[in-house]
Amino acid sequence: MRTEKQIAASRLNGQKTRGPVTPMGKDRIRSNALKHGLTARMTLWQNEDPHKFRGMMAALLDEFLPANDVEFLCVEEMTMAKWRLRRVITLETEAGNQQLNLLRSAGRASTLAAFQAAQQAGQLLTTLRQHEAAYSRAYERAHRHLLKLRETRLADREKMDDVAGDLG
């Protein structure tokens, strides 16, 4: 158990820190909390082509033809989910290839090192599969919401037509 004097000294030292000051120090800690980026709010990574993303968005807009802003938001959510799903599949392929290469090189490297590397790649594959399922569900949820909105809009339009017919 720590003494009161040690606790007080820790508090005093903690108040002195202000984080990194130099640009190099700030760059070093910029992504400390980033593990894989799959849950980030940003849609595009720096290495991804924004033209391809816009092309995917245009294709989904052409297919679903949103009638209002809410339907557009559903299509936008579907696009982001599809884009992230493609990213996961790409990462999954790369991780699987890496795992296979590590297992193939086990004869040349130490068995323990190859096993540990394969285990890490396997954990990554598990994480990627979880994200793949989440993005698939997100796409389906947005798609169902879009269909429900259309159903409601069409039913409301039919009611309005019936009312207009009764008045006319």
Residue 103 near residue 118 (C-beta atoms within 8 A): yes
Low-confidence ranges of the chain (pLDDT < 50): 34
Tell me which residue has tokens 């800690």: 29
Q: What contacts 84, CB < 8 A, 6 or more positions away?
A: 38, 43, 131, 135
Can you spell out the DSSP letters for 6-19?
Answer: HHHHHHHHHHH---
**Distance (Å, rounded) from C-alpha 125 to C-alpha 78?**
24
CA distance 155 to 89: 39
Domain contains 33 = no
Q: Does residue 53 lie in a domain region?
A: no
**Residue 28 falls inside a structural domain:** no
pLDDT at 80: 94
The backbone torsions φ and ψ at residue 136, rounded to the nearest 5 degrees and listed phi first, read -65, -45
pLDDT one-digit tens code per residue, 114-133: 667 767 777 888 888 899 99
Q: Is residue 122 part of a domain?
A: yes
* Structural domain boundaries enclosing 114: 70-168
Domain count within the chain: 1
Residue 145 in domain: yes
Q: What is the pLDDT of residue 137?
A: 97
Identify whether 26 is part of a domain: no
Residue 95 lies in a domain: yes
- Is residue 165 included in any domain, yes or no? yes
Give pTM, 2 decimals: 0.64
